[in-house]
Every structure is written in structure tokens, then in C-alpha cells.
Structure 1
Amino acid sequence: WNWRGFWDFGTGALGDMACHIMDPLYWALDLKYPSSVEGSSTLSNLYSPPQAQKVTYKFPARPPKGNVNMPELTVYWYDGGLVPDRPKELKDGEMMGDSNGGIILVGTKGKIMTGCYGMNPTLLPTSLMADFKEPEPTIPRVKGGNGNIWATDAHEQDWIRACKESPNNRKESSSNFQFSGPFNEMVVMGVLATRLSGLHGLHRELKWDGENMKFTNISPTDKIKIVTVDEYAVIDGDPKFDRRFAEFNALEMANEWIRHTYQNGFTLPEMPNI
């Protein structure tokens, strides 16, 4: 797992977990690209993600879904021990989400809370569930799934099935690339916002043009400073701090993080004919 904690290989807790935890709201609310994103975090550096962060995504209005309007909305992400305010509908002793995290959906007529990965959804206050009638499913279920991701590999098997089927009559997997690609792009906008923020960051809400994959309010002259060295030692009883920053062009760094320049990979020798 530890490779996720290095920028060269991963995207930290947000890039790792949000593509699971945000899935229910991304699907249910027909989200796509945010119109803006803003991040704040504990100290990060040129090599590793922060230990904790908060990201605010703002989404434009979307076309109605059936008879339900889809107005502008805001999504907040917290990790590393940071959490939203506790809903007043929860009783003393009731857990917010579950031990791995969760989701709180705040609507005009009430609230829904789930555990991590959208499991075990409940109305708030939870007493409302006594009279709640569960609607009939409208989204096709993955064969073998039972609502508990820890007890089944149905999701993975659904992907393998789609890989094996002929393109001429394939049934798309539940999380095909037409869905998961834009979803992942939305998630890592939060990673970008965090990397461009900080003590010597841009200090602004970043406007995002999703169709063209670029920020629209970073100028060619904007600069950011990123920690390159952060050391601490006690010498003869005296604490010593050594924190150093390097300055970068913000627009160039943002563009590089959006469309990464990869090194040439390994090549295999020519294989003999058999």
C-alpha cells in the first residue's frame, strides 16, 4: 500500500479512497467535472502527500434526472482525521458513518448518511428508517454482489467478464471507462488543488475547464513554493528545524501534473521465433 504515499507513484489518501467513497454521489447526482475546486492540508512536500486534507468541489447545475432537478451543489472531502460537523440528528453514541469513513448527503428535505463505500445507507435521524419503504432497484446489479464489498469479489468478476466478452455483444461493466474515467478526473482535481495550495501556494479557488483539462485562473507568472527538505533534530538539548522550499512556476507545474511527462519505460528484447 505504501507506494500511494509517494507523488511519483500515487495520489495519497484522496486519490486512493475518493474513487470508492464518492462513487454513490457521483452516480446518483449525475456529477461530471467540477466548475471549481479548493484545497487545504497539513504540510506536504515535493515527494509525498499531506497527512490530512480538506477539499471543496463546486459543481454546476445538470439536466434534470426524471422529475428531480439537479441544481448547483458543493461536495466536501475530509481525510486524515478531519471530519465534517456532526449532524444534529444523530443521537449521543451514534457513529457518524462507520469505522472506515462515510458519506453525508444534505438535501432540501432531509439527510442521508452511509458508511464507507456507500454501505448501509440510512435516513437521518435514523428513527425515520422504521417507516421507510425501500424503492425497487433501477440500476442493474452486479451478478453475485450482496452490498458488502468485503464479502464478495463480484465487482472484479464483472470487469473480468466484460474483458472476455466479444466487443460485438459485450454488456458493459458497471464501472466502465466511460464512467470511471471522468470520475477519476474529478477526484484528482482535489489532489491538484491541495498540491497548488499551502503556505506558499496560490491562495484561491481554482476554476476548472473540464472539457479542455485546464485551470482558467492561473496566470503564466504565478509562483508556488514547495517543501523540499523538512528535518528536525535535537542538538545538545536544543531543537533545530531545517525546512527549505523551492520555487516553481504554478502554471507549468499544474500542466505537468495534469498531463504528466512520463519517462521512457523498459523495452523487451526482440523475442525469438518459435
Structure 2
Amino acid sequence: MTEEPKDAPKNPTRRDFIKNTSLAAAGFMIVPRFVLGGKGFIAPSDMLQVAGVGAGGKGQSDIANFAKSGKANIAYLCDVDDRQAATSVKNFPKAKYYKDWRELLDKEHKHIDGVSVSTPDHNHAIIAYSAMQLGKGVYVQKPMTHDIWEARLLTEAAKKYKVVTQMGNQGSSNDGTRQMAEWYDAGIIGDVHTVYCWTNRPVWPQGIAWPSPQPNIPKELDWNLWLGTAPKKDYVDKLVPFNWRGWWDYGTGALGDMGCHLVEAPFRVLGLQYVKDVQASVGTVFVDEFKQGHFPESCPPSSHITMTFPKTGKTQGDVTLHWMDGGIQPERPEELGPNEHFPGEQGNGTLFIGTKGKMYASTYSDGATLLPLARTKEVTVPKKYDRVPHGAEGHYAQWVEGCIAGYGKMEMSSSFEKAGPLTEALLMANLAVRGHDLRGGQIKYEWDNNAMKVSNFDAVNEYVKRNYREGFVLKA
């Protein structure tokens, strides 16, 4: 299924089709749709036919938000676990249900316009790429992919197959990023040279030994399909549906989970692209009060990662970005009074430090604020960037409308052109985390972006592109 066709599929928009067929019938009277279908009627040909792969958890809310746009019909549902899919199946009783996404695309691709992928990270790329090869628009939950090679592949595939893409970091459609970009472009905080991003994740187990296998797989779960591209392993309890995030075979840790939300703003505001070098320190794990543990299959309980980004057209020099997770946070800005609230103190935040001032925001770029706090009300700059209607909620409708309009007709907040470099930078940072475990210490990992490899410590390059399990091989 994933073998690439000789020629990229042609992907005319529905409007092109309607236009062509309408011209052929130009001799007939043209009757407005609302006359035929009533006020507010949307013709079936203008509704996006969506297949939701991953129908529970975040997939459940994604699917509901597409339907809420009023322009998407949830035509197909797919999930490896009937328990997780139950609510979506109930909410969309007309949607045909599959367990295997390969069977879904094979049998129904002629009737599908867009595919939403909300599975564990390790299966994002193979599902999305297979849909893109068929000329389908794709919406993929963050992080876009599990591996760096996959992120580069999907970024290039979006252009090759001319499909509309969006990553599920909905905060990229919020006003906060745009407000901070306008402040920065107006020179309010000068030239930014340092950024801090932090999160209270992980809120799932990390830095632990692999659990003991369990003999009884729940009858509702297809364990083989859940494993997908990952190595074959016996079933373990409580990995599904959430705790997989802390295991390298399936997830990308706290950085993969929240980095696409928190580092998105620095990428957009400062025009960052590919990372130059990375270094990391990680939290220590103890198996008892005297003995340190070593669990290379599991992400660490905490980390502090320092990324260097080259000078861009919007910065005067390199930018140093600090990532902190597991409860580590930056020093509280001195511009805040002792009783003034620092939004990120309770969980997540992003802080920009410039030559003339500072600004910050919390999760999804909410609560964008200048420092001192009084400056936010005092400073007024022209509105330069268009807002997305309804912000984060509108992130879903934006993709639906973009797919209906056709490739290149609308700007997406997090198209793969934007999401790809962001995802690669975060996954590169994870190489430093894994290298810390391999090397037993901290070095600065230098990244060769063109060759897509670490140039000074080859051992971590095995994680740039992993081996896929038989039956789930992504071929490009």
C-alpha cells in the first residue's frame, strides 16, 4: 500500500469539479443551493468526507471538532481498540467502522477526501504518508512524526502530492503567537537572543523498567495493529491508551508531547528553522536509595535541553532555546512584582528575552504578556497578521476549509511546511537525550541538516530513522 506511484495523483478540488460539470450544463437555469436545500444548506459536494484514524482520546475530540465546523462529514472511523472508539461510534452512527487503517484506505480511498491521524506517535508517518500518496489531505496530531527522517519525508510529500496538511498543535491558530510576532516585529523587546520553554510533563510514568508481560490481551484491542511499525513485544498492561508516551518505541516523551505547543511560538515569532546544535542533561533514576537505575527503553523523568538556532532574517545572531520538563522551570523574571502571577508557574510557559525587554505566554500561546505587566496595556502596535476565527477551535475548521478550497488556496497555521522543521528540531533534541544515556554524560551534539545526522557522535544516528516491522514498512 505504501509503495509510491510513478506519478503523483492529480487532486482537483471539488470546486473545480463542480465548475467543470456546471459549465457543461450552462443551458439550464442555475438555482441557488439554499433554494433547493433551505437556508444554511451545504451541498454534499461541498462537505469534506473525513476518515478518522484513532477515534478515542484526542482523536475523539479531533473528530468532533471537524464535525463542528459544519463542513465535514465523519464518513469513516478507525481504531485498533473498540473500547476507545465507543463514544465516536455512538456520536457518528452512520460512519463505517474499521480496525485496520490499511483496509480502510484500500477499500474506501475513492470516497475519502481527508484523513485525521490521532494514533500513538510511532504510527503517525506511515498512515499519513499512505493517505498523502492517495491525494488525501491529512491532519496529524503532534508531534507530526516519531523520527526525523519521517518528518522530512512528510514535509516533502505535501508539496509533491499537493495536499493540504495541518499538525494538531492548535495553539498555532491562537491570537497569542500573532500578538507576540507583532510586538517583536515592532521592536518592542529588541532582539531576542534567549528563549525558555517549560512544562510540567511527564504526567505519565517515565524512567522505569519495562513492565512484566500480561497473558490476557483485552478482546477489544488488536495488539498487533496497535504495535504497528514498532518491534514485536508481548502485551503489557496500562500501556494503552496513554502511558505509551514514556517509551521510546512508541512515544517521544515530554518534548514530543508539549514541545509542538510551546516551541511553536519562538519558531513563528523569530523565524527559526533547523537546529544547529543541542546538549542535554537528564534527571537521575533510582531503583532504591543507594542504586541508580538504567532504563534505556524509557524516557527520563526530567530534562534540561539547550538548543542553538542559527541567525535568521528576524534575529541579529544565534538564538539559544532552553527546554525544561519534569518540573524544572526558569528563574522567575525580575520584572514581576513579588505577588504578580507568572502564568507558566503552574505548568507550561514560553519566555522570550530580548535586548530591550521580555514577553511570555502560557500553553498554546495563551495569555501573551509583555514585562513588566503594565506594558501590555500601554503598548499599541498595528495589527499585522490575520487572526484565525475562534483561535484554537478554528484550527480544525481551517484545515477542513483548506481541503475544500484546494492545495495552495489557503494558508494553514501549521502546514507541514511549518510543522516539519519544528518537529525535526524537537526530535533532534531528543537525540541528545538518548545520547546522554548512550554516552553516559553530556556533550554538544552538532547537527548536519543537509545530511540529516549528528556529525560528532554517530551512535545516536540510528534513531534518525528506525527499522519498521514487517507488514508496516514505510516505503518512500
TM-score for the superposition, normalised by structure 2: 0.44
Q: CA deviation at 1:157?
A: 2.1
Correspondent of 2:303 among 53, 57, 81: 53
Distance in 2 of aligned mates of 1:138 and 1:204: 41
Correspondent of 1:255 among 461, 464, 467: 461
Alpha carbons 1:36, 1:208 under 8 Å: kept: yes
Which residue pairs with 2:396 in the alignment?
156
The residue matched to 1:76 in structure 2 has which SS? strand
1:7 maps to amino acid: W
The residue matched to 2:308 in structure 1 has which SS? strand
Q: CA deviation at 1:199?
A: 8.5
Correspondent of 2:374 among 124, 127, 142: 127
Distance in 1 of aligned mates of 2:295 and 2:304: 17
The residue matched to 1:156 in structure 2 has which SS? helix
Q: CA deviation at 1:266?
A: 5.4
Q: Deviations over 1:4-36 (max 9, x none)?
A: 111111101111101111111111101011111
Q: CA deviation at 1:122?
A: 1.2
The residue matched to 1:196 in structure 2 has which SS? helix
Correspondent of 1:210 among 449, 453, 459: 449
Q: CA deviation at 1:262?
A: 1.3
Cα–Cα, structure 1 residues 130 and 11, in superposed 2: closer, same or farther, change >3 Å? same
2:414 maps to amino acid: S
Which residue pairs with 2:138 in the alignment?
none
The residue matched to 2:324 in structure 1 has which SS? strand
Aligned residues: 222
Cα–Cα, structure 1 residues 256 and 199, in superposed 2: closer, same or farther, change >3 Å? closer
1:57 maps to amino acid: M
The residue matched to 2:436 in structure 1 has which SS? coil
Distance in 1 of aligned mates of 2:429 and 2:400: 30
Distance in 2 of aligned mates of 1:16 and 1:5: 10
Distance in 2 of aligned mates of 1:266 and 1:199: 28
Moved over 4 A (4+): none
2:307 maps to amino acid: Y
Gaps of 5+ in 2: 1-241, 285-293
Distance in 1 of aligned mates of 2:439 and 2:278: 18
- Which structure exhibits the higher relative contact order, with contacts defined as CA atoms closer than 8 Å and separated by 6 or more residues? 2
Aligned CA RMSD, in angstroms, stands at 2.0
Alpha carbons 1:60, 1:71 under 8 Å: kept: yes
Identical amino acids, percent of aligned pairs: 35
Q: CA deviation at 1:116?
A: 1.7
Q: Does 1:184 align with 2:428?
A: no
Which residue pairs with 2:327 in the alignment?
81
Correspondent of 2:355 among 108, 118, 122: 108
1:1-274 alignment to 2 at 5 Å? Answer: 1-43=242-284, 45-63=295-313, 65=314, 69-98=315-344, 99-133=346-380, 135-145=381-391, 149=392, 153-167=393-407, 170-198=409-437, 200-218=439-457, 251-252=458-459, 254-265=460-471
TM-score for the superposition, normalised by structure 1: 0.75
Q: Deviations over 1:33-75 (max 9, x none)?
A: 1111001111472221111110000111123x4xxx4421100
Q: Deviations over 1:206-233 (max 9, x none)?
A: 1111222111112xxxxxxxxxxxxxxx
The residue matched to 1:58 in structure 2 has which SS? strand
Distance in 2 of aligned mates of 1:173 and 1:129: 28
Q: Deviations over 1:141-197 (max 9, x none)?
A: 22332xxx4xxx211221233233333x63132211111011100111111111111
Distance in 2 of aligned mates of 1:266 and 1:108: 50
Distance in 1 of aligned mates of 2:257 and 2:339: 29
The residue matched to 1:262 in structure 2 has which SS? coil
1:158 maps to amino acid: Q
The residue matched to 1:142 in structure 2 has which SS? coil
Distance in 1 of aligned mates of 2:362 and 2:325: 14
Q: CA deviation at 1:255?
A: 1.9
More strand by share: 1
Alpha carbons 1:40, 1:198 under 8 Å: kept: no
Alpha carbons 1:97, 1:103 under 8 Å: kept: no
